[in-house]
């Protein structure tokens, strides 16, 4: 069975993330991320393969200190954004809550918007995993996809103003420091959607030669287009949901004659 391919253009970094690989027709290499939510509904043999990870050398003390400091910064930003709102949270307040100087904060991020992306990455990864793990693997494929995208939309609906800022920053990130966070988030999402496609292949609902990662990109693209239109105020949510289902159905059925 083919696996997700770690080739999603600028969303994927070239670094080896400890991903299981398998050859696909034509000799190309395929990869699948090791995120539990991405393989929750697959068979045990596929899960074992997908969850295999390569051993990585332990980071040194200096690197561990940097990682711990960044975790404190992100945790402080997450708490203050929730308590005060994004607009009313200052970088000075975040630095104080993380027990670091303001100058130190800017060694890790260039702006408050950078922190927003980092916080969003962690929250959306958790949201995506929960949505995937709650799926009924035997349900129609389109219903599973609508469910996942619906959960993502519910996340954004909690704070529409914040979601608008976030989508702008993700679409065209102003700082290269956020690229790894965006890349890891997209890997997680594409792996999860690809896992749904792989499960559909196992059940005979998706043609076996379909590339799961290309399918995941197309499906997410259909969702993202509608999300932007909804957040921009051009499309009511009900119409967004209805048109998304039609777009997903078109992708799943193709443009060939019936």
**What's the pTM value of the predicted model, to 2 decimals?**
0.71
Q: Which residues of 138-160 are buried (b: 16+ CB within 10 A; e: fewer)?
A: eeebeebbbbbbeebbebbeeee
Query: Distance (Å, rounded) from C-alpha 92 to C-alpha 125?
Result: 27
Instruction: Please check the confidence at residue 55 and state whether its pLDDT lies above 60.
Output: no
Q: Report the residue count for the chain.
A: 258
What is the per-residue pLDDT across 16-38, written as a single tens digit (0 to 9) for each? Answer: 333 333 333 333 333 333 333 33
Mean pLDDT value of segment 75-101? 89
- In this structure, the strands spanning 29-32 and 20-23 are antiparallel
Distances from the Cα of 86 to the Cα of 11, 60, 77, 102, 157, angstroms: 26, 34, 9, 18, 15
Instruction: Please check the confidence at residue 54 and state whether its pLDDT lies above 70.
Output: no
Binned at pLDDT 50, 70 and 90, residue 165 comes out as confident
Tokens of 137: 């693997």
Binned at pLDDT 50, 70 and 90, residue 112 comes out as confident
- Given a contact cutoff of 8 angstroms between Cβ atoms, the answer to whether 194 and 212 are in contact is yes
What is the per-residue pLDDT across 171-219, written as a single tens digit (0 to 9) for each? Answer: 888 788 889 889 999 999 999 999 999 999 999 999 999 999 999 999 9
> What is the percentage of the chain residues whose pLDDT exceeds 70?
77
**How many Cα neighbours within 13 Å face the side chain of 114?**
18
- Given a contact cutoff of 8 angstroms between Cβ atoms, the answer to whether 102 and 92 are in contact is yes
């Amino acid at each position: 069975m083919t696996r997700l391919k770690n080739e999603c253009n600028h969303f994927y970094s070239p670094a080896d993330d400890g991903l299981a690989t398998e050859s696909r027709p034509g000799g190309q290499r395929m990869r699948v991320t090791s995120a539990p939510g991405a393989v929750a509904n697959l068979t045990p043999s596929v899960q074992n393969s997908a969850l295999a990870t390569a051993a990585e050398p332990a980071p040194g003390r200096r690197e561990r200190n940097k990682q711990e400091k960044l975790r404190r910064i992100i945790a402080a930003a997450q708490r203050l954004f929730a308590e005060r709102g994004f607009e009313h949270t200052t970088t000075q307040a975040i630095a104080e809550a993380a027990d670091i100087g303001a100058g130190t904060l800017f060694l890790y991020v260039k702006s408050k918007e950078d922190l927003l992306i980092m916080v969003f990455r962690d929250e959306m990864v958790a949201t995506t995993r929960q949505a995937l793990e709650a799926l009924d693997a035997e349900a129609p494929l389109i219903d599973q996809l609508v469910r996942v995208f619906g959960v993502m939309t519910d996340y954004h609906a909690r704070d529409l103003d914040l979601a608008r800022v976030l989508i702008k920053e993700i679409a065209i990130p102003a700082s290269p420091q956020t690229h790894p966070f965006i890349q890891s988030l997209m890997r997680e999402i594409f792996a999860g959607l690809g896992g749904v496609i792989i499960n559909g292949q196992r059940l005979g609902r998706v043609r076996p030669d379909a590339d799961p990662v290309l399918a995941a990109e197309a499906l997410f693209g259909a969702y993202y287009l509608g999300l932007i239109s909804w957040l921009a105020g051009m499309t009511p949510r009900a119409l967004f949901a209805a048109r998304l289902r039609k777009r997903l159905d078109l992708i799943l059925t193709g443009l060939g004659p019936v």
